Amino acid sequence: MSRKVSMKDIAKIAGVSPSTVSRVINKPSEVSEGLRKKVMKIIKELNYTPNSVAQGLRKGSMKVIGVVIPDITNPFFPAIVRGIEDFLRKKGYSLVLCNSDQDMEEEKKLLKFLYSKNVDGVIFTGSGEYNPEIEIFTSRNIPLVFLDRIYKKESSSYVIVDNVDGMFKLMTYLVKCGYKSFALLNGYKETFSAKARYEGFLKAVKKYNIKNYEVVFGRFTYESGYEMVEKLSKIPEVLVCGNDLIAYGVINKIEKLGLSIPDDVGVTGFDDIAFSKHYKPSLTTVRQPMYQIGKKAAELLFKMIELEKYKPKGIVLNPELVIRESTKKIEMEV
Amino acid sequence: MSRKVSMKDIAKIAGVSPSTVSRVINKPSEVSEGLRKKVMKIIKELNYTPNSVAQGLRKGSMKVIGVVIPDITNPFFPAIVRGIEDFLRKKGYSLVLCNSDQDMEEEKKLLKFLYSKNVDGVIFTGSGEYNPEIEIFTSRNIPLVFLDRIYKKESSSYVIVDNVDGMFKLMTYLVKCGYKSFALLNGYKETFSAKARYEGFLKAVKKYNIKNYEVVFGRFTYESGYEMVEKLSKIPEVLVCGNDLIAYGVINKIEKLGLSIPDDVGVTGFDDIAFSKHYKPSLTTVRQPMYQIGKKAAELLFKMIELEKYKPKGIVLNPELVIRESTKKIEMEV
DNA sequence: TGCAAATATTCAAACGTTTACCTCTTAACC
DNA sequence: GGTTAAGAGGTAAACGTTTGAATATTTGCA
């Protein structure tokens, strides 16, 4: 097993000092053409690449960022991660992926882990609560971007989607469709998204003076959607779901009850994950720009890392109403 | 912005040498109880964590592994990545994720990138062809595990699923169900998976003496599934799809043609991605143990990294037949 | 009390770069 | 021809650890 070739090796073979080799690589203009070519040739021949760990030590940055998400297996996240990676790799950064399962203790461990790995920055989607471990980064001025979450406590950057408005837009549409009775089947109550969607729902209830509605909380899963239908005191004209997964479960249960969608009842989702356009019926939902969320977060983080005095910034992205087959066609103007 | 606290700082405050601090952390038994406590206290107070870049340089390993996959957005991969991460983090490794989009040039870049980042090992799922850049790792004895692919050229480890057998099992089942005419709607021809599934199909054709069959190649997508149906000279009794995504598209097209599943025709998938059990009809398919694939690969890589003379090894996982609503019930024994 | 052995601690080199500073050569100018 | 400036390359320190070797301290024992 041959040791990796180092700068010294190149230097020795070329008969120059290591610093010259370094310059050939980093500031070619500062070394004469003859030497440069000679050294370059040897570098090519030996297939030399600088040891980035040594570089990292010397320069104080490994060009690595940490990404903490609840679970890559949740269809909401892959596109976000992709957005982050596409942007950051172009800048020479690599991305360390961590799944926290929304567990506070696990999050703490991961944060410590990333800190000890000397990452240059972190993109973080946490559980609902504020994780004090965050401060090991903020207190040392290591940039941090929150995804899909805001903590007023910190003056960090964040990228969120206006869930309240998304839900409100959806409700406005449903009202226009002529639906009169509603149920909100939501995810876990303590969650940022569940809260915001609930808020948007309530806003619409008030604005459009909806009398006939019901709200139930569960989890953001297929199974939970299925179950939540059973908890309803009666089946309303339209079932507004906290996310697409819930909607799938709801659709299944509703059809099992012998009701047809959208003729008997309407069902809506939230997120517009990849399958929602292929589901049967295809799902009326609110699209979150996942790839954009990731990309924007990466961009923000990058600026905070590389620009001396870049100030933390919050970005609010707008969700988009996607109308498909699971709701009836619009019948009147409000 | 305060510099990070280093071992020297701790040492100075404690009035000991840096090496003592190092020992307190790494070999506590070699330092007297008094000093150990004193130093520990200061470490806690200052919230000190060793700089892993320096450790990495000194020890020659950053405890980082690279994972190259085509696209995290493809539902096949998240669970694999999760399996890898769960295993490796427990061992103190972190995982750098890279998406190659199956592009040969991109793969090369990523491999170089990972090499220059001094990863301890790589888990690689490539495009169909052999990527010579692989050799920058193998030639330097940096462990490599191939996922879902074998290259005979290299004596590396790999984890694959026996696709041939999976398809054969499925076909055996379909024959038992009494289906007499078949079509295979496959993914991109040059692909390992497409080839293997084709092979399994042919094996069954031969074994069960199937006369009435047709094969068409497309891509592993919903849209391609939809289109491939149109290319068929006639609709057979059962449509065997190269993966679940194709099956979804096929189902949609079939229903659009006014045929009902499974009464008029059967449809099967391959992979058993998360949605297939919720699809309507739920999909008869062949389950790939994705999480296991990831976990096994991580385990293998770990052993290759940490065990002095561990020999590369191939692991073949068995897929599992999953029978659901998209095919008719078994009606006879073969 | 003296000496060896065991234990505790420090020293200094090493890992592979980058870079500020120094030296040497060459060219330019009057 | 002598002075200066620019250009080219080398030297050595620094980044923050770990670790083998060296030294200092304590302990046990005769």
Per the domain annotation, does A149 fall within a domain?
yes
| pLDDT value of residue A334 | 45
Separation of alpha carbons B69 and B96, rounded Å? 11
Q: Smallest CA–CA separation between B35 and chain A, in Å?
A: 24
Å from the B182 CA to the D12 C1'? 76
Query: Which candidate from A50, A78, A113 shows the least CB-CB separation from B116?
Result: A50
CA-CA distance, B111 to B125, in Å (whole number)? Answer: 11
**Does residue B306 fall inside a structural domain?**
yes
Split at pLDDT 50, 70, 90, the class of B334 is very low
Phi, psi of A161 (to 5 degrees): -110, 140
In a domain, A237, yes or no: yes
Q: Are A88 and B113 in contact (CB under 8 A)?
A: no
Q: Kindly tell me if the per-residue pLDDT of B333 is higher than 80.
A: no
Please count the structural domains in chain A: 3
Residues B183 and B269 in one domain: yes
CA→C1' distance for A18 and C27 (Å): 27
Report CA(A43)–C1'(C17) in Å, whole number.
16
Under 8 Å between Cβ of A186 and A247: no
Contacts B97 to A, Cβ<8 Å: 81, 85, 95-97
Given B250, B271, B288, which residue is the final one in a domain?
A: B288
pLDDT value at residue A284: 98
Closest amino acid to nucleotide C9 (CA–C1'): B20
pLDDT of B282 > 50? The answer is: yes
Question: Which residue of chain B comes nearest to A120, CA vs CA?
Answer: B53
The verdict on B265 and B179 lying in the same domain is: yes
* Domain at B240, CATH number: 3.40.50.2300
Percent of chain B residues past pLDDT 70, beyond the cut = 97
Helix (H) / strand (E) element for A286: namely strand A285-287
Give me the CA B289–C1' C28 separation in Å, rounded: 76
B218 to chain A nearest CA, in Å?
Answer: 19
pLDDT bin (cut points 50, 70, 90) of residue B205 is very high
Same domain (yes/no): B11, B28: yes
Are both B182 and B264 inside the same structural domain? yes
Tell me if chain B has a CB within 8 Å of the CB of A44: no
Does residue A116 belong to the interface with chain B, where contact is any CB pair within 8 Å?
Answer: yes
Max Cα-Cα span within chain B: 86
Same domain flag for B157 and B167: no
Task: Closest CB to B73: pick one of A79, A98, A248.
Answer: A79
Residue B36 domain boundaries: 7-50
Residues B264 and B192 in one domain: yes
Residue A325 lies in a domain: no
Q: Given CB atoms, is A51 within the 8 Å cutoff of chain B?
A: yes
Q: Check residue A4 and give its pLDDT.
A: 84
Picking from B57, B79, B222, the nearest residue to A278 by CB comes out as B222
Kindly state whether residues A187 and A224 are assigned to the same domain: yes
C-beta of residue B208 within 8 angstroms of C-beta of residue B171: yes
Residue that has been written with the tokens 């069959």 in this structure: B213
Q: What pLDDT digit, counting tens, does each position of B11-37 carry?
A: 999 999 999 999 999 999 899 999 999
- CA B60, distance to chain mean position in Å, is 28
Span B53-65, mean pLDDT? Answer: 95
Together in a domain, B211 and B168: yes
Q: Do B95 and A96 touch (CB under 8 A)?
A: yes
For residues A156 and B325, the model is more confident at B325
Residue B12 shares a structural domain with residue B108: no
Report if residue B270 sits inside a domain. Answer: yes
Residues B270 and B298 in one domain: no
The reply to whether A154 falls in a domain is yes
User: Is B333 inside any structural domain?
Assistant: no
Of B53, B73, B274, the CB nearest to A62: B53
Q: What is the pLDDT of residue B258?
A: 96
What angle in degrees, to the nearest 10, is found between the helix axes of A163-177 and A192-207?
Answer: 40
Contact B280 A56 (CB under 8 A): no
Chain B neighbors of A86, CB-CB under 8 A: 99
Distances (CA, A) of B233 to A86, B82, B183, B213: 42, 42, 10, 10
Q: Do B248 and A222 touch (CB under 8 A)?
A: no
Contact A190, A214 (CB under 8 A): no
What is the overall mean pLDDT for chain B? 93
Interface test with B, best of A74, A115, A278 (most B CBs within 10 A): A278
Same structural domain, A154 and A129: yes
As a rounded value in angstroms, the CA-to-C1' distance for A329 and C6 is 89
Is the model more confident about B315 or about A1?
A: B315
The verdict on a CB contact (< 8 Å) between A53 and B53 is: yes
According to the model, what pLDDT value does residue B201 have? 98
pLDDT score recorded for residue B130: 85
The shortest C-alpha distance from A16 to chain B (Å) reads: 23
Instruction: Give A77's contacts in chain B (Cβ within 8 Å).
Output: 78
The pLDDT profile of chain A, 334 residues, written as one tens digit per residue, is 467 899 999 999 999 999 999 999 999 999 999 999 999 999 999 989 999 999 999 999 999 999 999 999 999 999 999 999 999 999 999 999 999 998 999 999 999 999 989 999 999 998 777 888 898 898 888 999 999 888 776 678 999 999 999 999 999 999 999 999 999 999 999 888 999 999 999 999 999 999 999 999 999 999 999 999 999 999 999 999 999 999 999 999 999 999 999 999 999 999 999 889 999 899 999 999 999 999 999 999 999 999 878 889 999 999 999 999 999 987 655 4
Closest to B57 (Cβ–Cβ): which among A57, A94, A97? A57
Does A249 contact B at CB distance below 8 Å?
yes
A49 contacts in B (CB within 8 Å)?
112, 115-116
Q: Which nucleotides along chain C are within 7 A of a protein C-beta?
A: 7-12, 14-20
**B241 and B296 share one domain:** no
Judged by C1' against the alpha carbon of A17, the nearest nucleotide is: D10
Q: Coil, strand or helix: which one is B308?
A: coil
Residue type, position B16, single letter: V
> How far is the CA of A147 from the CAs of A123, A167, A192, A193, A196, in angstroms?
7, 19, 11, 12, 15
CA dist., res. A81 & res. B74, Å (int): 12
Q: In this structure, is residue B328 part of a structural domain?
A: no
Residues paired with A94 in a beta bridge: A64
